[in-house]
Structure 1
Amino acid sequence: MSGQPPASSDDLDLASLREPHGLFDLIEVVGHGTYGQVYKGRNRQNGKLVAIKVMAVSRDDEEEIKLEINVLKKFSNHRNIATYYGAFVRKMPAGKDDHLWLVMEFCGAGSITDLVKSAKGQSLKEEWIAYLCREILRGLKHLHDNKVIHRDIKGQNVLLTDDAEVKLVDFGVSAQLDKTVGRRNTFIGTPYWMSPEVIVCEENADATYDNRSDLWSLGITAIEMAEGRPPLCELHPMRALFLIPRNPPPKLHSRKWSSRFQSFVEQSLIKNYRQRPFTDALLTHPFIKNMPSSSSSSSSEYSAGSTTDSRLLLLPEPLYRLSRRRNRRLSSLSNISKRPRLPRRLLQQLAPRSQIELRPPPPPSTSASSQVQTPSAAQAASSAPSEAVQGIPAGDDVPQIRKYRKRFSSEIHCAAMWGVNLLIGTDTGLNLLDRHGQGKVYQLVSRRKFLQIFVLERQNIVVTLSGNKNRLRVYYLSWLMAKFLKSEPTPETKALRQGWVNVGDLRGVVSFKVVRYERIKFLVIALKDSIELYAWAPKPNNQFMAFKSFTGLPYTPITVDLTFENDTKMKVLYGSNCGFHAIDLDSNAYLDVFVPSSVDPGDVKPHAIVILPDSQGRHLLLLYNNEGVYYDTNGRRLKDVVVHWAEPPSSVAYISTGQFMGWGNKAIEIRAVDTGQLDGVFMHRREQKLKFLCEKSDKVFFTSAKSGNGSQVYFMTLSKCNW
C-alpha cells in the first residue's frame, strides 16, 4: 500500500452519493458510533449481513464524516480494519439533515467490551489479551504508517468477526498527521481512554500530541480487558478529564499478571508522550512478540483466500469456542422474520422496573380514529401471555420502562441531554443527572425555576426559560462544567464572569423552539402578545440576535415552530387556545391554518405541531386536546383521518423514530406520524400523570407529576428501524 497521506475530505461530495432505498434492510441497533447509530443490516441483493452506520449530515459534522469515509476507503483493505463497502445518502425533507449510510463489514462476535462482560469474572486470560493487543497494534501500525491517528481506541471500538478476526472501527474522530506537521492540537476522544496530552489540549491551545496518543488508549484498553473496566470509570467523565493529566499513570492492580504484561502496560502508559514508544517498538515487546504466529497473519493486508481455520489457530482455545458459539447463535438470528421488532438493549446502571407494562395495539383498521383502543380493551386483548405485538415477542423481548432511583422533592418541568447525561429543570433549580454512574444528581443552579431548556453543545450553551419573570436566559456549558467539577476557573470561565446572559430584554415568555436550518440556528419565542424570531450569530458575536418580530397577533401563542417550504419560503407556525396559525416571513401575512369547530373558542389545548417528513416543510400534523388532524401550511386539509386518543393526553411529543407519543393518566400511546395508526400502548398499573421531557437517539425520557413521594425520571428505549 502507498504511504501517501489521504486526500483532503473536500474531494468527497456527499450530495452525489446514491440513495440506499431498496439496497439494504435495517434489522436492529447494535451500537453507537461517534456521529451516529450502528445497525445490523442485510444486503438485499445477496442476503449478506452488513454493519450500517447511519449519521445525520449536518454542516457542522460534514468534515468529520467525510474524513471517516476517506479513512475507510483508503485503509480498510487491512485485515485489522473493518472493510468498507460503500456510502449512500438518504435525502430528508427541507430543514432536516440528510442521513448518510456508511456500509461496512459486519463483525458478528461483538466488541472487546462485550467479550469482557461475558467472561468469567469480567477478566480475560493473559494470552487472550496479548493476542488482542497484537492485532490492535497491527491495525494501528497500518494507520500510523499512513499518517492517521485513530484517536478513539477503546474496547467498544475493537470488534471481533465470527472468525475471530480483530477489527478497528469508528474513525469519526481520526486525524491526519500531515495536516499539522506531525501533530494535532484538537481535543477529542472518549474520556476514560483519553491520553493526558490530548486532554491538555483543551486547557492549552499550544499543546500538541502525535500518534502515540493511540498507544495510551491501547494501554487503558489492556487494563479494561484485565480488570473489566478502565481506570477512573467510577467517576463522572468530566471529573476523569480533570484527573487523568494530574494523576500518575494507572497500573494493573492484581499481582497475578506476568511481568511482561505489566511492562507492556507501563510502556504504553508513559505519561510524557515524547518518551512513550511508537507502534513499531511495542510490536517487538516480549508480551506481544512471544505470541504464536502463522503464515496467514504475516501479511499486513487482508487476503480473501485465507481460511477460517488458519486465522483461528492464532486464537486461544476458550476464545475460539466463544466465537464459534456466537457464530451459531448469529446464524440462527439471521433467519428471523424481517417484521420490525423492538430492541432489547437498555441502559445498564438503572433502578428496578417501573409500574408500567406494554399492551398490544388493536387489530389493523382503515382509519386512525377507529384504531383507538380503551385501556380496558387493551388489557383484555393482552390476556394471552404468549401473544406477540406486531412481530414483537412477548416476555423479555418487550422493552421495559425504567426509572432512576432519585426522587425530586420539587416538580420536574423539563430536561435535555448534555452529552450522555441529563440536565433537569425543576421548581428550585437546574440539576445534572449522572447517567454514567448510579444516577446521582448534582445541582448546578439553585433557587431558580426552570420551565424549558435546550442544549446546543457546539455553541457551548443551554437555552433556558427560567426565573420568576419567565425570561430567556442562556447559560454557558463550560461555566456549568466548572461549577460541577469545582475546579479552578480557567481563563475562559473567568471571561464569562457570571456564566449566563439574557436573550434580549424579553419577559413573560410562554415557550420557545430551537430550529436548525442548514448552517443557521433559529430561536422562535412565544410571548403573551407577540412572537420573536432570533438567529444565532457566530464569532465574534456568539449569541442569539434579533431577526424578526411579529406583534398584534389575534391570538396569544402557546406553542411555536418554524418551517421552510421548498427551501425558499419561511413560515412561523403557532398554536393558540383557538387553533393553529401561520405567518409568512416575507409578507407578514397571517393565516388561520386550522381552527376546530368542535371545540369552543378558548378551549383548545395545542400539544404539538409536527412538520411531516418528506413534505418539503408544507404538511403538518396538528395535535390538540384529544385529537389530531392533517393540514398543509396554507390551511388545506390533507386527509380525512382524525387521530383520537383513548384519553386526553397531558403531554405529546414527536420522536425521531417517525412516531408521536401521548402520555395519559392510564396509558402511553405510540402512533405512526404519517397515518396516525396506533403502534403500541403502555398501560399504567395505576393512574399517574406523566410528562414528556426529551429524547435522543432511541431514548425517550419523561417524568411523573409531583406527588407525596416526589417526582422521578423515567426512560424507555425505542429504535428508529422498529415498529
Structure 2
Amino acid sequence: MSQPEEIKKRKPKARPVSCVSIPPRAFPLPIPLPVPLPPPPSSSASASSSSSLPLSSSPLSSLSLSAIANDNNTPRHSDLVRLHFLGSGASGNVYLVRHIPSSQLFALKTLPLSLQDDATRHNIHREIQILRQAHHPHVVRCHGLYEINGETQILLEFMDGGSLSSKILNESQIALVFRQVLLGLEYLHKRRIVHRDLKPANLLINSLDQVKIADFGVSRILSRTMDPCNSSVGTIAYMSPERIDTDRSQGVYDGYAGDVWGVGVSALEMFMGRYPLLPLGKSPDFGTLIWAICGDESPLRFIPQGTTPQFRSFLEACLQRDATRRPPVSHLLSHRFVAPR
C-alpha cells in the first residue's frame, strides 16, 4: 500500500469526544443470522506459544464461574449497591453500582440463569476468562463475578461516557479514538485473542476521553495461531466479506483481519453518523447487507468526498475486500492517520 502524503501539523485537540452527540439512528441494525464460517489461514499475529491463553477444557457443568473470575481483590457482593439502570442487550441488563467501602463506581452486567443454555454459559465463561486475563489501558477490566439471586452478575469497569455508537466525530477525534482501539487490539492479538464483533457499540469511552474495547461475549482465545474461527458469531453488519462469502474466500477466514475490517467500518460510521455501507435511506434487510458487504462494488465507494488523503488511506487499508491485503494492527499503528505527532 502506498504511503499517504504528509499533512499539516494537527490542529489543537477538538472538543472532548465524550461530549459529542448524534441524532437517533434512522433504522435499527438487523439481528445477525447464522452464516457458516471456514477455517482461517496462518495468522498474521506473531506471538510465542508461551503467551497463548487456551480456553478451559473442563465441562461447563463442572465449572464454577465465580472460582474462575474472582480473587482476593474481588469486591464482596454485599458491599455493592445498585444506583440506576444503564442499559440492556440481548442477554441481560447493565446497572451502575457503587462499592460502599471505597465509593468506587462499577457497571454490573446481569444475565438471568433461566435464560442460560450451555452455549450462553460458555460465552459467559469465555468473556470472564478474557477480561480477567486482559490487563491493558484500552481493554475494559472485569473486577469480579457473582452467581446470586438467579443471575450471573459480572462486575465491570464503569465507562461514564458510554459507547461510541452515539457519537459523530471529526477526523481528528477519530484518529485519537482509533489509535487507542488499535493499541487495545494489538495487545489482544498478540495474545491470540480476536474480538469478532468490533463495532461502535462495543467501544466505550470515559470522561477522560480514554477509549476501551468491551463486550467479549463472542470473542475467541486461540490456543494456537492456526486454530479456526469457525462459528457464525458477531453482528452481520460489521462482518468482513470473507466471513460471509465462503465461496469467494475459498474457505479462508483470518480472525485478525476480520477485526481490522471492523475497525474500518466503525471509523467510517463514526465519521458519517450512520451505518456506512448502505446508501442513505436504504433498508438494512439481511440480503441488502450481504450484497453491500460482499457484492461486486467496492465498499470504498461509500467513503465521502472531502475526507483527507490520510483518513481515506486508513479506511482503504482496513476495508480491503481481500483479507490478505489488510495490514495487521501493528502496521496500522504506524499509519500517519493515527500515528502520534
Question: TM-score under structure 1 normalisation?
Answer: 0.36
1:246 to 295, 299, 319: 295
1:281 to 321, 327, 331: 331
**Cα drift, residue 90 of structure 1:** 1.3
**Cα drift, residue 10 of structure 1:** 4.3
Q: Secondary structure at the match of 1:60?
A: helix
Within the alignment, does 1:68 sit opposite 2:68 as a pair? Answer: no
Residues 32, 194 of structure 1: CA spacing in aligned structure 2 closer, same or farther, 3 A cutoff? farther
Residues 78, 34 of structure 1: CA spacing in aligned structure 2 closer, same or farther, 3 A cutoff? farther
Instruction: List per-residue Cα deviations over 1:641-682 (Å, max 9, x = no partner).
Output: xxxxxxxxxxxxxxxxxxxxxxxxxxxxxxxxxxxxxxxxxx
What corresponds to 1:39 in structure 2? 95
What corresponds to 2:259 in structure 1? 214
What corresponds to 1:667 in structure 2? none
**Cα drift, residue 6 of structure 1:** 1.6
1:100 to 146, 152, 155: 152
Q: Secondary structure at the match of 2:128?
A: helix
User: C-alpha separation between the residues in 2 aligned to 1:259 and 1:64?
Assistant: 40
Higher helix share: 2
User: C-alpha separation between the residues in 1 aligned to 2:238 and 2:77?
Assistant: 37
Within the alignment, does 1:87 sit opposite 2:150 as a pair? Answer: no
**Cα drift, residue 261 of structure 1:** 0.4
**Cα drift, residue 38 of structure 1:** 2.1
**Cα drift, residue 47 of structure 1:** 2.1
What corresponds to 1:131 in structure 2? 176
**Cα drift, residue 199 of structure 1:** 2.0
Q: Secondary structure at the match of 1:22?
A: helix
Instruction: List per-residue Cα deviations over 1:346-388 (Å, max 9, x = no partner).
Output: xxxxxxxxxxxxxxxxxxxxxxxxxxxxxxxxxxxxxxxxxxx
Contact 2:197–2:259 under 8 Å retained in 1: yes
What corresponds to 2:188 in structure 1? 143
Q: Structure 2: where are the runs of 5+ without partners?
A: 1-46
Residues 131, 104 of structure 1: CA spacing in aligned structure 2 closer, same or farther, 3 A cutoff? same
Instruction: List per-residue Cα deviations over 1:698-719 (Å, max 9, x = no partner).
Output: xxxxxxxxxxxxxxxxxxxxxx
Within the alignment, does 1:198 sit opposite 2:246 as a pair? Answer: no
What corresponds to 2:17 in structure 1? none
Q: Secondary structure at the match of 1:178?
A: coil
Residues 247, 13 of structure 1: CA spacing in aligned structure 2 closer, same or farther, 3 A cutoff? farther
How many aligned residue pairs are there?
277
**Cα drift, residue 276 of structure 1:** 1.3
2:161 to 102, 109, 112: 109
User: C-alpha separation between the residues in 1 aligned to 2:324 and 2:175?
Assistant: 24
Instruction: List per-residue Cα deviations over 1:566-589 (Å, max 9, x = no partner).
Output: xxxxxxxxxxxxxxxxxxxxxxxx
Contact 2:55–2:223 under 8 Å retained in 1: no
**Cα drift, residue 139 of structure 1:** 0.5
**Cα drift, residue 216 of structure 1:** 0.3
Q: Secondary structure at the match of 2:122?
A: helix
Residue identity opposite 2:310 in structure 1: R
Residue identity opposite 1:257 in structure 2: T
Residue identity opposite 2:267 in structure 1: A
What corresponds to 1:14 in structure 2? 65
Within the alignment, does 1:265 sit opposite 2:315 as a pair? Answer: yes
Q: Secondary structure at the match of 2:95?
A: strand
What corresponds to 1:236 in structure 2? 284
User: C-alpha separation between the residues in 1 aligned to 2:76 and 2:147?
Assistant: 7
Contact 1:34–1:170 under 8 Å retained in 2: no
In angstroms, what is the RMSD of aligned CA positions?
2.8
Question: TM-score under structure 2 normalisation?
Answer: 0.73
User: C-alpha separation between the residues in 1 aligned to 2:251 and 2:317?
Assistant: 26
**Cα drift, residue 35 of structure 1:** 3.5
Residues 200, 180 of structure 1: CA spacing in aligned structure 2 closer, same or farther, 3 A cutoff? farther
Q: Secondary structure at the match of 1:100?
A: strand
Contact 2:77–2:146 under 8 Å retained in 1: no
Highest relative contact order (Cα 8 Å, sep 6+), 1 or 2? Answer: 2
**Cα drift, residue 45 of structure 1:** 2.6
Ranges of 4+ aligned residues in structure 1 off by more than 4 Å: 15-21, 201-207
**Cα drift, residue 52 of structure 1:** 1.1
**Cα drift, residue 202 of structure 1:** 11
**Cα drift, residue 15 of structure 1:** 6.3
**Cα drift, residue 241 of structure 1:** 4.3
User: C-alpha separation between the residues in 2 aligned to 1:178 and 1:37?
Assistant: 31
Residue identity opposite 1:35 in structure 2: S
Contact 1:50–1:106 under 8 Å retained in 2: yes
User: C-alpha separation between the residues in 1 aligned to 2:273 and 2:82?
Assistant: 31
**Cα drift, residue 247 of structure 1:** 4.4
Contact 2:241–2:294 under 8 Å retained in 1: yes
**Cα drift, residue 150 of structure 1:** 0.6
Residue identity opposite 1:164 in structure 2: D
Contact 1:27–1:42 under 8 Å retained in 2: yes
**Cα drift, residue 177 of structure 1:** 2.5
Residues 213, 204 of structure 1: CA spacing in aligned structure 2 closer, same or farther, 3 A cutoff? closer
Residues 149, 35 of structure 1: CA spacing in aligned structure 2 closer, same or farther, 3 A cutoff? farther
Higher strand share: 1
Residue identity opposite 1:279 in structure 2: V
Contact 1:182–1:210 under 8 Å retained in 2: no
Q: Secondary structure at the match of 2:266?
A: helix
Contact 1:186–1:201 under 8 Å retained in 2: no
1:156 to 201, 218, 238: 201
**Cα drift, residue 255 of structure 1:** 2.0
**Cα drift, residue 126 of structure 1:** 0.9
**Cα drift, residue 180 of structure 1:** 7.2
**Cα drift, residue 204 of structure 1:** 9.4
Residues 247, 89 of structure 1: CA spacing in aligned structure 2 closer, same or farther, 3 A cutoff? farther
Q: Secondary structure at the match of 2:223?
A: helix
2:112 to 16, 35, 56: 56
Q: Aligned residues: percent identity?
A: 29
User: C-alpha separation between the residues in 1 aligned to 2:175 and 2:253?
Assistant: 30
Q: Secondary structure at the match of 1:288?
A: coil
Q: Secondary structure at the match of 1:62?
A: helix
**Cα drift, residue 84 of structure 1:** 1.7
Instruction: List per-residue Cα deviations over 1:255-310 (Å, max 9, x = no partner).
Output: 22101100100110001112211111111111112x33xxxxxxxxxxxxxxxxxx
Contact 1:20–1:101 under 8 Å retained in 2: no
Residues 41, 15 of structure 1: CA spacing in aligned structure 2 closer, same or farther, 3 A cutoff? closer
User: C-alpha separation between the residues in 2 aligned to 1:138 and 1:223?
Assistant: 19
User: C-alpha separation between the residues in 1 aligned to 2:247 and 2:198?
Assistant: 19
User: C-alpha separation between the residues in 1 aligned to 2:66 and 2:212?
Assistant: 29
What corresponds to 2:51 in structure 1? 4
Q: Secondary structure at the match of 1:64?
A: helix
Residues 47, 247 of structure 1: CA spacing in aligned structure 2 closer, same or farther, 3 A cutoff? farther
2:83 to 24, 27, 42: 27
Q: Structure 1: where are the runs of 5+ without partners?
A: 93-98, 117-123, 293-723
**Cα drift, residue 146 of structure 1:** 0.3
Residues 267, 203 of structure 1: CA spacing in aligned structure 2 closer, same or farther, 3 A cutoff? closer
Contact 1:84–1:103 under 8 Å retained in 2: yes
